[in-house]
Structure formats: C-alpha cells, structure tokens
Amino acid sequence: MSSNPPAPVSNFIRSIIDADLASGKHASIATRFPPEPNGYLHIGHAKSICLNFGLAQDYQGTCNLRFDDTNPEKESEEYAQSIQDDVRWLGFEWNGQVRWASDYFEALYGFAVELINKGLAYVDDLTPEQMRQYRGTLTQPGQNSPNRDRTVAENLDLFARMKAGEFADGAMVLRAKIDMASPNINLRDPVIYRIRRAHHIRTGDQWCIYPMYDYTHCISDALEGITHSICTLEFEDHRPLYDWVLDNITIPCHPRQYEFSRLELHYTITSKRKLLQLVNEKKVNGWDDPRMPTISGMRRRGYTPEGLREFAKRIGVSKSENIVDMAVLESAVRDDLEARAPRVMAIINPLKVTITNADGALTREADFHPNHPEFGKREVLFGETLFIEADDFSEVPPPGWKRLTPGGEVRLRHSYVMRCDEVVKDAAGAVIELKCSIDHNTLGKNPEGRKVKGVIHFLSCKHALPAEIRLYDRLFNVPEPDADREVDFCTHLNPASLTVVQGWVEACVQDAAPETRYQFERLGYFCIDRRDHQPGKPVFNRTVTLKDSWAREQG
C-alpha cells in the first residue's frame, strides 16, 4: 500500500496555476499572506493561510508573510507577533524575513511622484463631505474635482509639502486620476495618500502621510515578485485599480489578482471590528478566549492545527458562497482528536459511591488509546469510595436505560461489575450517595450466568485529581448573529457558552503540560489550558463533545 499523501483537491486557483506553469508563463509560483496587524487572526484567515502557504508547499514555490501596516492608529506589535505565532502554529513557515508594507514607503512615495509627473495623480483639498458629493452613486456618475486639473508642478509642490508636514491631518489627499464616470466606483479617482499624524510601530514619526491599501498592496506584490495574488471576493471590484496602478508605473513585474469566496461560519462572527468590540466590552476574556473564532482562541480551546487544516480542505476553495455550519469545523477537529488524544476518565458532576465489599479489590492497567498501543498504559486505581457521574444513575429509569438503577448492575470501565444495593438521600429527598457492591470475579471478564449491558466510568475518590473544568459551547445561539443590522449582534450571545465546574480526573494527568489534549471517556475532548494551568491544579477546556449534540438539542 502506498504511503504517499493523497493528491490535493483541485480548485479553480490550482487550475490557473497548472496552466501558468504548463505554458511557461511562470517557472515557479510565489504567493503571499498580507494581514493587517490590527487584531488577532480568525478562522477566515486560517482558510487563507492554508490556501496561500499550502499552494506554495504543493508547488515547491514560496509564500511571503507581509504585514499591511499602513493604518498606524490601529496596529500594534502584539498583533503582529500573534499573527506570526498563528502561522507557525498552523504548520507553515514564510519565505525569508517577515515583510512589511512600511519597508516600501520610500518606493511607494517615488511611484506616487511618477504618477503625478505623468499627469495621473493630483492633490485634492476637498473636504470629506464634498468628496462624497462629487463621487456620485452606484447609478449616477461622479463629477471632477475642481482641483483635478492642477498642474504637475503644483501637485509635486503640494505633495512634497504634505510629506513635510505643512498641512493638517485631513486637509489634503493625493488621488489617482482615472475616471469619475466609471461604473466601478473604485476607479473614480481613488485616494492613494492621506495625511495622518500617528506614531507607527516601525517607522515612528518619520512619516505623516500614509499610502492607502489599494495602492500599497499591488506595488508590494510587484516588488516581491508575487505571481498569484489571492484574496477574497470583496476585492474583485478592486482588481481594475490593482491593474491600473501597476500598468501606469515603471515596474517590471505585474502580478495577477484572483479572488475566492470568504468563509462565513455559522454561530460566530468574523468581523475584526466586532471581535474587538467583544474584547473591549468584556463579553469575552480577551482575544484568545476559547469561545472566540480567533486562531489563538481555537488553539487555547484545544483545536489542533491538523484539524483546522483538514477543515480548510473540506470546505474547499471556490467563487460560490461559502457558508459553513459550525458542525463541519467541529467534525474536522473531532476526527483528528479521535486518533491522537489519549483516553482518561474524568467526573464533572460527581455522585459518591461507597463500595461495601471493597476489601481485596484490585486495580487494572488500561491503554491510553485502544488503537495506539504506543501511547502506553496507565493504572486505573480502585478504592472503597468512588465518584460516578450523577447522570449515570436513575431511580426511575426511562425505557432503554443501560446505566445504574437501584438493584441494577453496570460494569465500571476497566474494572468490576457493580450492583447498587442502597440509595442514600438528604432531608430534601435528593440522592447524595449510593451504597454498592462489586462482583470480585468480574475484573477483566464477564460475570457468569447473566449479562450486564451498561458501562459507566468512575474515579477512586482517594486517588482522583481535582481540576477546574470549563465547559465551552458556541458563543452565539443563532446561526447568523450579525445578519440583522438593526439588532445588536451581542443580543444573540449564548448565556450558556461557558460553564465552570469543579471536577475530578485521573491522577496520571497531573504532570501533563499545557495544551495536552485528552478524551475524557464518554464526556468529550478536553485540553489543558495554556494560560491558567498550574502544576497540580489543572484547568481543562472542553474542546468539543464526542458527538454533535447541538443540532439535536436545537431541533
């Protein structure tokens, strides 16, 4: 049987690349991932990372990481570092050094001067309100600015003085001179430079004018020799401007832009502005809150990079609408954890069980994973007092019940068959303890003369390790929380998105490192929290349930 990995699933971008390589248009490919360092990356960015870096890997090309740092007020080193960490955690490495749009500020200024000299850019001092009025609408053409016919000499002088800081913020802009009657509003003399006195994370106070994204991005691509500039569909109408800029400056490389549909994931949001609002209003506990759709939040929750890469593979790349249910993401993560997470037992809703005939009871070894003996074994400790899940006992069981009942028997996982002999209640009638007995002849084998169908998990009270267990669920309780612009999306926050309980887990996990993942048998997949974990005082985050219970509960 071949050990070669399966061939990548084809898509329209791969078809374009295949044709470009076959025709000799390109000898190799170069892609880039160009985030703005103004927030943490989210699941939509993960799809783009897997696409851009994945293409570079599959075609033995290169992928640059380039920060679009042209909006200094909102950018920070914290965001830039988190993005680098996320890319590496997903399993990718960029080509050479990290690149920044600010690396090209001098070159970008020079190209703007070239456009002015060619009569293709002009300085405009219309107010923002006047500029909107002159711009026109989707159905009405725009009007030329009164400043559109300034001479080249006047524009060069004003632009140099803008750079020198002679004018107030917002007093003037540099615009490309294209076509105010174009049906594509992006070509109606777009702004390509504005005055903005803001301290920049890399250039400090060296500049007081900053280039706009549409102008910067295409030139950065060209300077880096990018062959395939891949972005989401909202930039499709910007492609003519991308091409116009490169067609009208002296630059040898002209990359091509290709657009794919952005990811819309149900039961969450992927607007960085709205994610920042959740953080600032303390609706969540930071950008890496495990309920957030950020890569750092999903990492902290226990998602695996392999699971996220598999998710990106499953949803594919196309130009058609890409609305995906959360269950698809959870399934990809669950399938990955099924193969890699060791099994242990944990109790999150304990009910005390006293074993009345525990004398002589033995312990057994159990595999950490039934299909991976290389994961090793651990000792499943037994004692005269146990914890079981309260949900595994019923005084009046429903039809088909296979767990514990008064007078009934169950098998304890990796241990004995146990019978419930007595139910102890408090003054209010609540069950607080069970008194049970074990069949000493059933350790590792079935009882003689009778069948026991149910299996439940347990912990020895004496040996169990206390743990804080955080039961995470979906952040929103409707599929599209920001669909209605008239309604604050925060009204759809799921009040049950986090439940914190004091639980218990097998002592074999006490020395595990942060981000170690386990399957808690019959409960779900859990991960040791990377921020709040302390040796001997573990904090576990529920990554995902064993099955997709959400659809059933909501039905």
Rg, Å, the chain Cα set: 30
The set of long-range contacts for 479-487, using a CB threshold of 8 Å and a minimum separation of 24, is 479/266, 479/267, 479/325, 480/266, 481/267, 481/268, 481/269, 482/269, 482/271, 482/274
The rounded distance, in Å, linking the Cα atoms of 477 and 495 is: 8
The verdict on whether 118 is a catalytic residue reads no
The verdict on whether 36 is a catalytic residue reads yes
Tokens of 360: 């002589």
From 14, 148, 196, 262, active-site residue:
262
The verdict on whether 262 is a catalytic residue reads yes
User: For every residue of 61-115, which 3-state class applies, written as one string?
Assistant: CEEEEEECCCCHHHCCHHHHHHHHHHHHHCCCCCCCCCEEHHHHHHHHHHHHHHH
What is the bridge-based pairing of β-strands 524-528 and 539-544? antiparallel
Tokens of 355: 């074993």
Provide DSSP, 191-225: EEEEE----BTTTBTS-SEEE-HHHHHHHHHHHTT
Hey, what amino acid is at 141? P
Hey, what amino acid is at 464? A
Question: Which residues, listed in sequence order, are joined to residue 504 by a DSSP beta bridge?
Answer: 347, 466
What is the bridge-based pairing of β-strands 377-380 and 62-67? unpaired
The rounded distance, in Å, linking the Cα atoms of 233 and 245 is: 20
Provide DSSP, 152-189: HHHHHHHHHHHHHT-S-TTS-EEEE-S-TT-SSGGGSS
From 272, 474, 530, 542, active-site residue:
272
The rounded distance, in Å, linking the Cα atoms of 383 and 362 is: 9
Contact status, residue 403 vs residue 454, Cβ threshold 8 Å: yes
In angstroms, the Cα distances linking 42 to 102, 114, 229, 331 are: 24, 38, 20, 18
The residue behind tokens 């003037």 is: 172
From 32, 36, 75, 224, active-site residue:
36
Give 147's DSSP letter: T
Question: Which residues, listed in sequence order, are joined to residue 100 by a DSSP beta bridge?
Answer: 67
Contact status, residue 148 vs residue 202, Cβ threshold 8 Å: no
Contact status, residue 37 vs residue 69, Cβ threshold 8 Å: yes
The rounded distance, in Å, linking the Cα atoms of 331 and 207 is: 48
Look at residues 153, 196, 151, 147 and name the one whose alpha carbon lies nearest to residue 175: 147
Give 509's DSSP letter: G
The rounded distance, in Å, linking the Cα atoms of 95 and 97 is: 7
CA 326, chain centre distance (Å):
12
- Entry field: residues in the chain: 555
Contact status, residue 422 vs residue 434, Cβ threshold 8 Å: yes
Catalytic residues: 36, 262, 272
